[in-house]
Amino acid sequence: MSHPHPELGPPPALPEGGLRIVALGGLGEIGRNMTVFEIAGKLLIVDCGVLFPETDQPGIDLILPDFSYIRDRLDDVQAIVLTHGHEDHLGAVPYLLREKADIPIVGSRFTLALLEAKLREHRITPYSLQVAEGQTEQLGPFSCEFFAVNHSIPDAMAVAIRTAAGLVLHTGDFKMDQLPLDGRLTDLGGFARLGEEGIDLLLSDSTNAEVPGFVTSERDIGPVLDEVIRTATRRVIVACFASHVHRVQQVLDAAEHHGRHVAFVGRSMVRNMGVASDLGFLRISPGLIVDMKQVEQLPENRVVLVSTGSQGEPLSALSRMANRSHHQIRIESDDTVVLASSLIPGNENAVHRVINGLSRWGARVVHKGVAQVHVSGHAPAGELLYLLNATRPSNVMPVHGEWRHLRAHAELAVQTGVPRDRVVLAEDGVVVDLVDGKASIVGGVACGYVYVDGAEIGDVGEATLKDRRILGDEGFISVTVAVDSVTGKIAGGPQIAARGFTDDPAAFDPALELIEAELDRAASEGVADVHQLAQSVRRVLGKWVSDTYRRRPMIIPVVVEV
């Protein structure tokens, strides 16, 4: 656990009639979205997502929000409101429900269906409340009204939270596609109505705040995918997010149009598309979908595979195809691979590695850089300005984005007339109070990363990750030596073993002489404590390695008395 803001003291008691907002994730980063609202001693959580690890976090599977701020107050939590079904907004719910299983979960039909499928794998049965746009639910002192928003997943919603302290609008992730595939528009009329009522605080998606203009319609992607599939001579493999139902629908339509069958690849893709089909969000013609065993019997020019792995995740189906470790699919020359997604910041190198791996085997790789095969699910600057002008909020708190996105969004708010001192730039762990119509930073709380490493949660900290980085970057050296318990002189060894450092078996011969000399010196001075001797060995070997190789491996000395 860590406190990211030592300059901020602990927050004071919340004034009577005030509303407290604490983001436990999602500010200053893309992922781990979780915001806690507090009034009159009661809490409301909006979203509870995960962050996926980067290359400098070896061995980590997922990163969770830090629940320590609310851990002692879970009985006060009225509900967890989910804006939509992406992992960075609901992926941490199973881990929070492990601590208190009966917290009500509120969300749309598709969002809850995705969550419940995930929770079954964790053997958790949630207490859930399904809501739809236009619906209002009283959750303790929080009156929540839900609004349709357009995003890269069906059934996404914004939530207006009415409290005694004022009206807050949390947009969730949204864009303003004017011709969405499902006809479900972002409810600008509803937002404008809230603006007339008076929005005291707007929390709005900042992901594309640096991107000018307006979003390209999803409908523009269909003809491009159709042309890619029409001109492909062998198999077509489309990689996209396992939740992007609209993109998968476009692939299904194009495949059917050109007489191809479709198979889903990847556990999450199979699961999510099954849920989407069952609920009517995905239209599948009879006989169009086949399983992988049937694919092997079909001509290669009659197959489309829809796969996970568009972000280059090391264990995803597409990554395994790229390095030819997938047990069913082997990339061959003239296969066509489509990466139908945007790059999440930080994933660029991983995706380029996958593209190069696929190209090595002769595949034709089509991605956003060379063809219009994806549009973002987040509103660019023109749409954010539109929202700000339609809602005219008294205070603005940019959310969902890295620092550059938050600052760009803050400048947009100022341009539309929001006073600069009413634009709150916060990050994870910063406490914001809305009191008497004014939002301001009042303190900070502990809010570090919580790492999931296999079956363990929170057992790995920054010290362990530092050791893993050293092992990965510099290697490991162990030194074993036996000393006489009476004289302190060398009785056996020293022996040096190294991993991930050098392949030359004679590389450490000069160091052995230095270690022997150091132990002889220590013995002559009467030093017999094995701990002191081990530290002396570490120091001598460490200096020799640094001087000789300019490297700093992990060194483990073992001194044994005999």
SS3 content of the chain, % helix, strand, coil (to 5): 30, 25, 45
CATH number at residue 477: 3.10.20.580
* Domain count of the fold of the chain: 3
Is 312 found in the same domain as 400? no
4 domain-assigned: no
Beta strands 105-107; 396-399: pairing state: unpaired
Q: Mean pLDDT for the chain?
A: 88
163 domain-assigned: yes
Lowest mean pLDDT, pick from 12-16, 116-120, 317-321, 341-345: 341-345
- pTM for the structure as a whole: 0.83
Domain span at 158: 19-213+377-454
8 domain-assigned: no
Q: Is pLDDT of 443 > 50? A: yes
Radius of gyration, CA atoms only, the chain: 28
- Model confidence band, residue 435 (pLDDT cutoffs 50, 70, 90): very high
> Which of 335, 366, 397 is where one domain is finished?
366
More confident residue, 281 or 372: 281
Nearest CA to 89 among 193, 292, 243, 233?
243
Is 248 found in the same domain as 341? yes
Contact present, 432 and 20 (Cβ < 8 Å): yes
Q: What is the pLDDT of residues 103-161, one digit of tens each?
A: 999 999 999 999 999 899 888 999 999 999 999 999 999 999 999 999 999 999 999 99
Q: Is pLDDT of 455 > 60? A: no
Nearest CA to 183 among 264, 106, 249, 95?
249
423 domain-assigned: yes
> Which of 332, 366, 400 is where one domain is finished?
366
Is 388 found in the same domain as 349? no
108 domain-assigned: yes
- Model confidence band, residue 5 (pLDDT cutoffs 50, 70, 90): low
Q: What is the pLDDT of residues 325-371, one digit of tens each?
A: 888 888 999 999 998 887 666 667 778 888 898 999 999 999 887 78
pLDDT at residue 2 in the model: 43
Residue percentage of the chain with pLDDT more than 90 = 61
2 domain-assigned: no
More confident residue, 423 or 486: 423
Is 296 found in the same domain as 179? no
382 domain-assigned: yes
Is 146 found in the same domain as 186? yes
Is 422 found in the same domain as 472? no
pLDDT at residue 515 in the model: 82
Enter the tokens of residue 465: 């990750």
- Compute the average pLDDT of residues 414-427: 96
Helices in 44-86 by DSSP H: which ranges? 68-71
Residue type, 160: A
CATH number at residue 418: 3.60.15.10
Is 200 found in the same domain as 65? yes
pLDDT at residue 3 in the model: 47
What is the number of other CB atoms lying within 10 angstroms of the CB of residue 98? 12
Strand order through the sheet with 336-339: 261-265, 303-307, 236-239, 336-339, 364-366
165 domain-assigned: yes
Is 466 found in the same domain as 402? no
Nearest CA to 171 among 35, 342, 345?
35
- Compute the average pLDDT of residues 390-408: 96
pLDDT at residue 1 in the model: 35
Q: Is pLDDT of 281 > 70? A: yes
More confident residue, 27 or 266: 27
- Compute the average pLDDT of residues 182-211: 96
More confident residue, 537 or 345: 537
> Which of 433, 454, 475 is where one domain is finished?
454
What is the number of other CB atoms lying within 10 angstroms of the CB of residue 531? 9
Give dist(CA 514, CA 508) in Å, integer. 10
Is 430 found in the same domain as 359? no
Give dist(CA 202, CA 455) in Å, integer. 38
- Compute the average pLDDT of residues 464-478: 67
Q: At what angle do helices 109-121 and 267-278 cross, to 10 degrees?
A: 140
Lowest mean pLDDT, pick from 70-74, 286-290, 491-495: 491-495
Strand order through the sheet with 450-453: 62-64, 450-453, 456-457
Compute, in degrees rounded to 10, the torsion defined by CA atoms 470, 471, 473, 477.
Answer: 100
Is 160 found in the same domain as 223? no
